[in-house]
Structure 1
Amino acid sequence: MLRSRPFPVLLASLVAAALACPAASARGDDALAALARRVGRAVVALDRKPRGAFRSGTLMDGQAPASGFLVADGHVVTLAALARGRRTLGLRLAGGVRASARVVGLDPLANIALLRLEEPDQVAARMGGELPALPFAPAGALRVGQNVFSVGNAFDSLRLDGQPAFSQGVVTTVARARQGVYRGPVIETDAAVNPGAFGGPLVDGRGRVVGVLVPSFSPRRWLGEAIPAGVVSAAVNALKAGEPPAHGRLGVRLRSSGGEAQPDGVEVAEVAADGPAARAGLRAGARIVAIDGARVYDTADVARELAPLPPGAPVRLDLGGRRVVCVLDRGRPVDLASAFRPRPEEGTGDAAPSPRKPPRLGLRLRERPERRFGLEVVEVDPQGLGARLGIRTGDVLMLAQRTRLRTLDDLRSALGNLAGANTLTLVLLRERRLHTLRLPLDRPLAEGPR
């Protein structure tokens, strides 16, 4: 037989629970305040006065007062684009402490710079006897939905307030940057990342660095972003050891398709026994269909996707029904002479011109011998140029640059003879109506059928 609790006992339990809630909340607030103080002591501001707007199209011009943070042995981590062209940098630390640091090295692919404090013992004495240092979180420790905290010199807070800005949020996703200075994996978070915080740390609840804050790689994305700790720690360790910056290595040899697009992916001919692909379980004979969500049709596509990635970058491979994640290790050295050359889309106009490559439409086509001409679209890559132009399965490509398309070779010839052309013009047949598509070749803009 069930017995109900006496009313006074039940009332006492409810009162105790109500009293415990504020106490627990206060303990949580105290823990966050302690975390902010501990991490904030390791954050530095690059001692530069703003010369213009905090946010600009290229950002990495040092116009905003930027951030960095102390790691072991008196080293400072910040963004490569903020230290480029400098031998030394002045620093401002918490509490108004001033210091100077020399540039140890830069990794252009990881967009990471490593600095070393000058006279670290004197700086430590001014900070109470010991230099603070932030540890890196182990690779793979981050989860979507996890609490994280952005810390940095937002709006020059170290100079104005004597302490860095501290904001709480969660990890919303891990994406791939395909525009801007850095083109590897990025953590996205709803923690505030304001101008001046770039180069500062994104930390977890234990004060471990899970990323380095960077500007948004696209003006259409307004979440805060950070370079993952795996990429950053790999770059820092290499720079400490005096090793030259390197491209990431997957550790596979691919079978050449002779220039022909392979709709079912690129075949892996050989897997290096000690490489990232082997550790992820990749075997010879597998076919790579997509890399980080982008479809690949030949070895050039694979090279394009992997070339910007530094060691330590996780790469998602779609093997046509199975997906694996490989963490790249060190490959061939980076050509530093070209690594820092501005890209044309960054608006500098200084990049060396390169021969125009024929655009890849991302379409699988079928010849129609029963008809006089026209190539039927049987598959459209949702990430490809054809999809962005509005081409659909069942459409029939009739003309390319006024060339009648009877065979696939006709299309290859038309796309290969675009020298001097400003626009690619395609005419397609859809539901007995002709539509004209025009793609400007001097900028990434496309128009749909009309």
Structure 2
Amino acid sequence: MAPMTMALRPEERCATVPPAAAAAAALHGALLESRQRWQDLAGLAADFVFETDSAGRFSFLWPETVIGHPATSLLGRRAASLLLGTGPDPFALRQPVRRQRAWVAGAGGKPRCLAFSVVPIGDARGQFAGLRGAALDVTEQEEAAAAAAAGLRRAALLDALAETVRRAGTPREALARGLSSLRDALGCAGTAMIVPEAEGAALVEANGAVPAGLPERAAAALDAVEDWAGRLDGREPAALLHHHGRRPRVSALAAWRGAGSRDWDAEDLAVLRSMAAMLGAVLGFARLQEELEHQAATDALTGLANRRAFLAALASAGSGALLTFDLDNLKPINDRHGHEAGDAALRALAALLRADAGAGEVAARLGGDEFALWIPEADIAAAKARAEALRARAAALAGTPHAPRFSMGIACRPPGSPESARALLARADAALYAAKRGARGSWRLAEPAA
């Protein structure tokens, strides 16, 4: 009998899987899906997840790289060893907590701020077995919040400093108050405003002992028109911030701390930069005001005090002697050599008076070819001696270009006299004209005040 062959229909070719194996495969697939779901959710909610053992060592980490560190390099390491500073330790907790922030060392020691959420885990006996947690990197948010807070503090500080400056009565007082308040606010040893000079730099206003090397460093910074911050000779932290006005309004704010003090941080420099602009503007205004006041009180041709300034000084003076002068040869000089030569003669007499005037004495050009010299506390004898000395000095210049020849009048104000400045000047002028009517190049003493 021939062997019988049978062909299986397609539906008869599938193998029957035992029920237990099917259940195991389904469970394995579910576990894989659950694990993937857990990883996806963890990755969305945190930058890494971890577990520690009862000794605080990392026993589990995910993903493979944690704040720049390979996870394998951290396993078995004490978690607290990553912490920076002296803030709360999230790895020492024994109760659940959410979003506790701490600074840790990232790869290369770079500080990172993490928000930790942790729960304690226990063993079969209910004893503490470690922590399970997640960490979210919030460095950018923390830095942004810190920058915003610092900005508010800086704005409040600058407002307070500006108010101090505004309350001052004069630009110089505003400068002094602003520098003093800035010194105290930033914990400086001293502050100063510095301006360039033909050779080097000059301190216009300063408080605190100026450290060695600061003027030279300031001169270099002003010459290069560059800000500078560092340590002077490796010791005192110092900074120089410019006010970029037009010359001669250029200035620099200098600040320094004691040797061994902390360096300047970004907030310090931001405050100094703002104050350099504010105090530089105040200094520029003060210098402009002083220049205008000087021009208003100074004779443009000779540089001596003018009539207005001299009368103001005379009005507030006490006892003393007033000498008035009138050039005897100005008209001939103008006629023969021109007004430039006449101006030179006026400047020559001004130079003589300026050289002769001592401390507290005031020399002035009252107008035209009339000059004056006030000698505080001088009596008649001292005034006569002074007039003779001036005649001798003028005689010694005879033969030189533009040598001055002049007549003088003398009027003395005794102690306690109520005589006004104008009355005193009128008596001296009367004596001067008496001298000119007589022998020119001489002097006359005025009659005492009535």
The interval holding the TM-score normalised by the smaller chain is under 0.3
Q: TM-score, normalised by structure 2?
A: 0.21
Higher helix share: 2
Higher strand share: 1
Determine which structure has more spread, i.e. the larger CA radius of gyration. 2
Larger RCO, structures 1/2 (Cα 8 Å, 6+ apart): 1
